[in-house]
Every structure is written in structure tokens, then in C-alpha cells.
Structure 1
């Protein structure tokens, strides 16, 4: 049997690397990491302080998503410190979202799309909105 220690990284496909890097740096506040000199374009980001990473890979194909946010579709989930602050930040950035402060999951969730329509869930330990 395998003994899994942790998630090392998640990879997402993007079509415009500079646009995607701007989103992940400026909207999500992730720190870009040095990346090996692969023969294809991409970028790596640190996620939190536990060594997990997000890898962006440039892929010229189309996304599978044609419509808005579908929370049942595959997605990347990131834990935020404050639900309230995350909502305020997304609003200040003009990012559309699907907020679920009291979902059945037992923790508050916010769903957004990146520029390539990858679904990202932001969630928190508690719902700190009024």
C-alpha cells in the first residue's frame, strides 16, 4: 500500500502564460518559483508554506468549459484565512464569483474562474461575514 505524505503539485493548462501568471500573482497572490528549463512554456508557483505547488502548462487546446462556474467540475481548492477578506478582494479586482457562505460542505466556499476557465475554489475554516 502507498503511504501518501502530501500533495506536491497540481498542474493546470493555460493558453496565455503572461495573462495566467498575472492572475495567479496579482489576484491570488501566489509567489512564482524558479522552473527548470523544460522544452515547453509554463510557470510554477508556491501554494502556502507547506511546499505545495501549482504548475501552469501552456497548452494550445481549448478548455472543456464552455459555460460559467460548475462547482461539480474538477477544480483546485485553496484555503484562505478570511472568507470576508477574500470576497472583498475579489470584488475590488472585478472577479466574478459564486459565494456559498453556508454550504453543505461545512465550510464557506467561493468559486471563481481563471482566465482560461479553470475553476478555483477558495474556502475558509469559518464564515466571518455578518
Structure 2
């Protein structure tokens, strides 16, 4: 039997590391962390305070999507503290997104794309009135 301790990291393919780093730093607000000296470009980020990481890998493979926001496509999710504040920030940054405050999931969801069309979900606890 495998005894899980948690998700360590998610890796995403990007084509322009500087553009991707600016997005994940300036829009998503992640803190870059040290990365080993691999023989290819990339960047690592801390996600939250539980040790989870996001790894960006520069790769010209065929796994990148070209369409718009598809909430059923492969994605990763980051929990955010405030749904409304996050919507306002994305609007201020001019980032297209789709959101559902009253998702059937039991939490509020926001979906957006990074510059390489990787799907990101930002979700928040729902406070039903």
C-alpha cells in the first residue's frame, strides 16, 4: 500500500520562461524558490505554506493547448483567501477568467489561462448567506 503525504509539485510546460515567470510572480503572486542547475530552462515556485511547489519547464513538445478556458480540461488549483478580491485583481490585471461563486463543488471557482494556455483554477471557501 502507498501511504500518501501530500502533493509535492505540479509541473507545467511553458515556451517563454521570462513571460511565464512574470505571470506567476506578478499576477498569481507566487514566490520563486531555488531550482537545481538543470540543462534546460525553468523555474520553481512555492505554493502556500505547506511545502507544495509549482515547476515551470521550458519545452517545445506537443502537449500545449491552443483553445480558450475549458473548465473540464486538465488543470491545477490553488486555494485563495478571498474570492471577490481575487476577481477584482484579475480584472485589474486584464486577465480573462470564468468564475462561479456558487459552484456545485461546494467552493467558489475561478478559471483562467496562463500565457501558454495552461488552465489554472483559483478557488475559495464559499460563505453562503
Q: TM-score by structure 2 length?
A: 0.95
Q: Distance in 2 between matches of 1:62 and 1:122?
A: 26
State the Cα RMSD in Å: 1.5
Distance 1:47 1:71, change over 3 A: same
Aligned to 1:32: 32
Normalised by the size of structure 1, how large is the TM-score?
0.95
Structure 1 spans left out of the alignment, 5+ residues: none
Aligned to 1:56: 56
The alignment status of 1:86 with 2:86, answered yes or no, reads yes
Task: Identify the range of structure 1 (56-65 vs 36-45) with the bigger mean alpha-carbon deviation.
Answer: 56-65
Distance 1:37 1:9 in 2: 18
Q: Deviations over 1:19-70 (max 9, x none)?
A: 0000000000000001100111100000001100000000113554222111
3-state SS of the aligned residue for 2:125? Answer: coil
Give the structure with the larger strand fraction. Answer: 2
SS in structure 2 of the partner of residue 124 of structure 1 = strand
